[in-house]
Amino acid sequence: MFDEPIIDLHSDHYFMGEALRQAMRAYQQEEVPVGAVIVREGKVIARAFNQVETLKDATAHAEMLAITQAEAVVGDWRLSDCTLYVTKEPCPMCAGAIVHVRLLRVVFGAPDQKGGAAGGAMNLLQFPTLNHHSEITAGVRVEECRSLLRSFFMEQRTRKKEGLDASAGLADGDE
């Protein structure tokens, strides 16, 4: 009778928790704390976190790494029966990959009004002329996702400021 999958908000909460665990791993490695998991038939088939600095690869976003893992698990580049959970709204690069692999659904935590491509700055996931459109659920565990990002960037600014202050002190001969 019902052909469409039932979206269980408790599952969204749970799987976003899994993505948050991945984001914490990124945070611990001084990477921008974004985590992602891909779920198929109620099971996590891929987990990843940002590794741009670690891998020296601008494309090593959590979403991209998770997509690559999921493709290997599924044995196909098409992920049309999978859901991506990610702690921050996907950027244009990641949104492009999401469209190409035909993810059924994208669930994200923190919106990105400046660079988000799932409804923030733009919406590539439902762009009218593209061949695939993903369902979007925004704002799941938003405060936890935002808090992690804010803490990270505050620490980065403090480190940068302290580094500049230390450099200024050394320049003055205050060793």
Give catalytic residues, as residue numbers. 63
Q: CB burial class (10 A; 0-12, 13-18, 19+) of residue 44?
A: middle
- Residue 92 sits at the vertex; the CA angle it makes with 48 and 47, to the nearest 5 degrees, is 10
**Rounded distance between C-alpha atoms, residue 22 and residue 20, angstroms:** 5
Q: Which residues contact 83 (CB under 8 A, 6 or more apart)?
A: 15, 38, 39, 40, 103, 104, 105, 106, 107
